[in-house]
Structure 1
Amino acid sequence: MSNSTVANRYAVALFELGTEKSNLPQLEEELNTVVQVFKDDQELKAFFENPRVSKDDKKSFIREVFKSFSQETINLLLVLTDKNRVSSLNEIVKSFVNMKNEAKGIAEADVYSVRALSDEEQEQIQNVFAKKLNKDTLRINNIVEKSILGGLKVRIGNQIYDGTVKRKLQRIEQSVVSANK
């Protein structure tokens, strides 16, 4: 079974549990924190990947470190430890967040620009793309990329809307080259 299929199953179970208990936002926040902790701490990652460390030690560690988190988050980490799937946590969280966003009419967008966008500019982008995608809300993650000469590139899921000057110049070049053939 592929890693994404397994991750999706865990995410579905967690989403259903969170929906039932009405704590989806709390779960999302906790899961994002856990992912960040694993990302930032290489020693922690090595601890969980080490086959010499017993599962019981790993589970005790989870119970102690994440004791302020919801029982659902702790249980997920314990099950992942039992099944040697802690490495799937990133994919599980991505699937979970996507399900939660879909249910709430939210889309997430990476917006690449040459400089940080103002609140007003972000709001304009939110309005345009939320309507285009039939979503209630669009969460924007503004990524400053100096290689963009001007304009914007917006990535929502697997769709890319490229309105950068660089891309426009490429289109002009393609049309000039094809016209000269």
Structure 2
Amino acid sequence: MKREPLAFRYANALYDLAKERGQLEPIGEELQVVKDVFEETNLLDEVFRHPSITSENKKALLKESFQNKVSSEVMNLLFLLIDKKRIEYVASIADEYKRLSYESSGVAEATVYTAKALTEDEKQAIANTFAKQTNKGRLLIDEVTDPEILGGFKIRVGDRVYDASVANQLQRIHKRMMYGNVSR
């Protein structure tokens, strides 16, 4: 996932404030709620980018929508984004905040691609093995079923991909057969 420098600055400032106040997790959850609402309702395209809607109307809509759902810190961030005409960064800020939170607690997200669904024991074994390989305390597994894998699995942790799939092994055998085993 590409990092957005501006979103990182806002997320970092909010993260520092949340850490100082002991509210890392609640604020992270609130940001995720805001992100989900923006993505599910298409508010960004229909309302917040519309040139005839004033900043005050946008703030009133945010206050009405999130008044009892988010803290004053998150609401102030939203108001600041409206004032600076940067509300389109909400999703990126939520993602960067989550990344900062995970990084500080030694957690990483991983996507595992398999031909069939994994059991909980298999998920746990993969999480434990790759947490050690990536020097993380814990790995959160997101599972994707992909019949083209044939067997085995492929896992993506951040920018790294580990491919232990049958499809990949067959592809390597095919290349060796076509071009020979060229190792110098």
TM-score normalised per structure 2: 0.91
User: Which residue of structure 2 aligns with residue 129 of structure 1?
Assistant: 130
- 1:13-65 CA deviation, whole Å, 9 max, x = no partner? 01101101111111111111111111111255311111111110110111111
Over aligned residues, Cα RMSD in angstroms?
1.6
Q: Please report how far the alpha carbon of residue 180 of structure 1 lies from its aligned counterpart in structure 2 after TM superposition.
A: 7.7
Asked if 1 retains the 8 angstrom alpha-carbon contact of 2:114 and 2:144, the reply is: yes
User: Which residue of structure 2 aligns with residue 34 of structure 1?
Assistant: 34
Q: Please report how far the alpha carbon of residue 114 of structure 1 lies from its aligned counterpart in structure 2 after TM superposition.
A: 2.0
User: Which residue of structure 1 aligns with residue 174 of structure 2?
Assistant: 173
Whole-Å Cα distance in 1 between the matches of residues 14 and 118 of structure 2? 34
- Secondary structure of 2:85's aligned partner: coil
Structure 2 vs 1, CA of residues 103 and 65 (structure 1 numbering), >3 Å: closer, same or farther? same
- Secondary structure of 1:153's aligned partner: strand
- 1:116-175 CA deviation, whole Å, 9 max, x = no partner? 222111110110011111111111111222332121111111111111111111111111
User: Which residue of structure 2 aligns with residue 12 of structure 1?
Assistant: 12
Structure 2 vs 1, CA of residues 43 and 91 (structure 1 numbering), >3 Å: closer, same or farther? closer
Whole-Å Cα distance in 2 between the matches of residues 160 and 45 of structure 1? 34
Task: Give the number of aligned pairs.
Answer: 179
Structure 2 vs 1, CA of residues 116 and 86 (structure 1 numbering), >3 Å: closer, same or farther? farther
User: Which residue of structure 1 aligns with residue 72 of structure 2?
Assistant: 71
The residue type equivalent to 1:170 in the other structure is Q
Residue identity over aligned pairs, in percent, reads 37
User: Which residue of structure 1 aligns with residue 152 of structure 2?
Assistant: 151
Asked if 2 retains the 8 angstrom alpha-carbon contact of 1:38 and 1:45, the reply is: no
The residue type equivalent to 1:29 in the other structure is E
Whole-Å Cα distance in 2 between the matches of residues 32 and 115 of structure 1? 29
Displacement over 6 Å in runs of 4+ = none
Whole-Å Cα distance in 1 between the matches of residues 112 and 153 of structure 2? 7
User: Which residue of structure 2 aligns with residue 21 of structure 1?
Assistant: 21
User: Which residue of structure 1 aligns with residue 53 of structure 2?
Assistant: 53
Q: Please report how far the alpha carbon of residue 76 of structure 1 lies from its aligned counterpart in structure 2 after TM superposition.
A: 1.3
Whole-Å Cα distance in 1 between the matches of residues 45 and 34 of structure 2? 11
Q: Please report how far the alpha carbon of residue 115 of structure 1 lies from its aligned counterpart in structure 2 after TM superposition.
A: 2.4
Structure 2, unaligned runs of 5 or more: none
Asked if 1 retains the 8 angstrom alpha-carbon contact of 2:44 and 2:88, the reply is: no
Task: Tell me which moved more, 39-48 or 66-75.
Answer: 39-48
Structure 2 vs 1, CA of residues 52 and 128 (structure 1 numbering), >3 Å: closer, same or farther? same
User: Which residue of structure 1 aligns with residue 91 of structure 2?
Assistant: 90
TM-score normalised per structure 1: 0.92
The residue type equivalent to 2:55 in the other structure is K
Structure 1, unaligned runs of 5 or more: none
Whole-Å Cα distance in 2 between the matches of residues 89 and 15 of structure 1? 14
Asked if 2 retains the 8 angstrom alpha-carbon contact of 1:15 and 1:96, the reply is: yes
